Structure 1
Amino acid sequence: MLRIYFTSDDIARTRIAPGPDPLWELVLSLQMLRPQRGDLLFTTWRHESCKAVRHARLGEVLGLLLALTPNVGYFPDFLNPIEAIHGLDHGIEALRTTPIPMLKRDVCRLAATHRLPESARRLADGEPAILTDLTEAMRTCYDLAVMPYRRSIDAALGKDRRIRTFALANGGVEGLLASLRPMMTWSAGELRIPGHRHQELHLHGRGLLLIPSYFCVSGPLTMFDPDLPPVLIYPVVRGPDALPSRASTMPAALGALIGSTRAAVLDVIGTREGASTTTLARHLGISMATASEHTTVLRQSGLISSHRDHNRTLHHLTELGRALLDTNG
């Protein structure tokens, strides 16, 4: 059983993630490529994704990635840096700059219970080439196994978030935590998660970030290292509409309304939360100037919002933009 201990400061600092964590979804989807308990909803998704990943011909690095993400037991903390909550690019960059002592510690811990390929030793030593290959393979797997299903993922996470925010609004943090039954139970400053390996986590005033996950089916998860930022990943509420389905091509009606290229830009922003102008240009095969022009019109129309992040401009759907996509999807 996992036991998480809260102080009054921790209760005040407990919050819900603003959106999906792309690296958690990726790691858990890689685990889901191999059958596991409670995964019947993912049979068609597994067939489609395994085929897509095989055709990508990632070579030996795919073997390393799958070895690092066993679907039973421990897997390395360094695969899920907290920065990924701000988007895939942030997570990939943080992973590439993982301190070598952390790489070595996590790989050695995994090697104690699982047989790893030779390339794992190079990873533990922090060789830049293997880190680059690994993160590029992760990005490719995300594009093939997660991104095409982002509408299903976003819909399920949006539904779960509405449940949690309603509980928070009506009962405070205690109401929020109580809403997570029967996955976990809250009582007198202690959150208990049965079925988890034995672990105790003292938050020490840092609070807890709750991250709902579409591909999490086995039960709530947290980091192995108690000194890392405290997170709790838990399965979203699942209903009959939770089946993962690939996003269809952008409907002609929406293209006729706002233009086919602009509709495609809006769709990519909907499936790549926090997409940069560069990402849009590369993904759609248009120039940076054209991508910038379309995002300007979409922003002025209230369909997206944009903000600067160092030398990049990142774009997000507004509620109006999401409603427009959902209506036409």
Structure 2
Amino acid sequence: MLRVHFTGEDLTRTVLGDEPDALWEVSISLHRLQRRDTGVVFGPWRSQVLSRIPAAVRLLSPLAPAKGYCPDFLTPARGASRATQIDSLRSTGRETVRADLREFHRQHPHLRLPSWGAQLADGDATVLGRIADAADTYFDACLSPYWDRIRAQVHRDRVRRTALLARGGWEALFRTLHHSARWSYPVLELDYPVDQEMHLQGRGLVLQPSFFCRYNVTSLADPRLPPVLVYPIDHDPGWALPTPPTEQTRSLTTLLGTTRAQLLYAAADGVATTQQLAHRAHTTPPNASRHLTALREAALIHSHRNRNTVLHTITRLGTALLNGQQPAVPA
């Protein structure tokens, strides 16, 4: 559980990030590459970039495992240009690196870094420089070709959340950051892999939208660093395709109907509530609930209750249908 403790002053200093953060996206996209559950949203991107991942990524991927903590020093200077971020990473102080590596080993007791990990902990500037170069090279190869599309979807998220803030204040915005978000002033609670208390103490909070973040929010472990909460945005499932899958979309709409097809595409973006899916599919929650029941009966959607909320996820059969694949039939 992550608990973010606000004061009135913190609320006046809380801001929405207006651009994707290059180094946060580097770290989180490495999670996506190492996991096998990329599905409809990230599957096409993963397939396209696997053949062009630079060899230097071998220095980055051990520090960004498939799940859990990445060292804070990999995501410096939020809001700065990528060049400034890379320079900040390259010049990280030895004590900061050591502290972050201690936290890494604490949260990943069963993982062992390669031999260069000891050199990094000893303050070897050459190894740190190679890690910074690897992040830069990886961005150019695997993220830069898609960056305009990523920026466009992050900007769309900001527009939507700005409207939410204008209509319903911080409560409306906080409650829609993630399906697990619970807001009761002065504390925002969210599901988190570890128990962590974030006391803002008048510093405010940066709400940083992330394109490659999918399941949970994330943040920095060091409480002395400027507070940031990285949260997942909604996606267009066909974002990585060279052209929109119009023929496939028309076929799916013919098969399921417009609303059910839109709900299925929306569910491919990750775990979501009925209200969130209704928003993405441009329909009302009662109408979405009725169509989700039909999708569930067809084994395309799985639903389960979490406290007072029903959460929906796409099934393997639903993913196969969106991908245009022939689902396996048991013998």
TM-score, normalised on structure 2?
Answer: 0.68
Map 1:159-308 → 2, pairs under 5 A:
159-241=156-238, 243-245=239-241
Give the corresponding residue for 1:305.
none
Tell me, what secondary structure is at the counterpart of 1:24?
A: helix
- Match for residue 104 of structure 1 among 98, 112, 115: 98
- 1:204 Cα offset (Å): 0.6
- 1:179 Cα offset (Å): 3.3
Deviations 1:253-300 (A, max 9, x none): xxxxxxxxxxxxxxxxxxxxxxxxxxxxxxxxxxxxxxxxxxxxxxxx
Change beyond 3 A, Cα 1:143–1:153: same
- 1:195 Cα offset (Å): 4.2
> Percent of aligned positions with the same letter in both sequences?
36
- 1:168 Cα offset (Å): 1.7
Question: Do the aligned partners of 2:41 and 2:235 also contact (CA within 8 Å) in 1?
Answer: no
Which structure 2 segments of 5+ residues have no match?
A: 244-331
- 1:49 Cα offset (Å): 1.4
Give the corresponding residue for 1:32.
32
Give the corresponding residue for 2:140.
143
Change beyond 3 A, Cα 1:88–1:139: same
Work out the CA distance in 2 between the residues paired with 1:233 and 1:80.
Answer: 11
Change beyond 3 A, Cα 1:38–1:6: farther
Change beyond 3 A, Cα 1:219–1:246: farther
Work out the CA distance in 1 between the residues paired with 2:19 and 2:177.
Answer: 18
Work out the CA distance in 2 between the residues paired with 1:51 and 1:108.
Answer: 33
- 1:180 Cα offset (Å): 2.1
Which structure 1 segments of 5+ residues have no match?
A: 248-329
- Match for residue 55 of structure 2 among 50, 57, 76: 57
Work out the CA distance in 2 between the residues paired with 1:120 and 1:7.
Answer: 40
TM-score, normalised on structure 1?
Answer: 0.69
Counterpart amino acid of 2:170? V
- 1:234 Cα offset (Å): 0.5
Deviations 1:284-322 (A, max 9, x none): xxxxxxxxxxxxxxxxxxxxxxxxxxxxxxxxxxxxxxx
Give the corresponding residue for 1:261.
none
Counterpart amino acid of 2:55? R
Work out the CA distance in 2 between the residues paired with 1:160 and 1:183.
Answer: 18
Work out the CA distance in 1 between the residues paired with 2:164 and 2:116.
Answer: 46
Counterpart amino acid of 1:69? A
Tell me, what secondary structure is at the counterpart of 2:220?
A: coil
Work out the CA distance in 1 between the residues paired with 2:102 and 2:160.
Answer: 40
Counterpart amino acid of 2:69? Y
Aligned residues: 241
Change beyond 3 A, Cα 1:38–1:196: farther
Tell me, what secondary structure is at the counterpart of 2:34?
A: coil
Work out the CA distance in 2 between the residues paired with 1:127 and 1:209.
Answer: 32
Work out the CA distance in 1 between the residues paired with 2:194 and 2:62.
Answer: 21
Work out the CA distance in 1 between the residues paired with 2:242 and 2:97.
Answer: 35
- Match for residue 119 of structure 1 among 93, 100, 116: 116
Counterpart amino acid of 2:89? L
- 1:190 Cα offset (Å): 1.0
- RMSD of the TM alignment (CA)? 2.0
Question: Do the aligned partners of 1:84 and 1:90 also contact (CA within 8 Å) in 2?
Answer: no
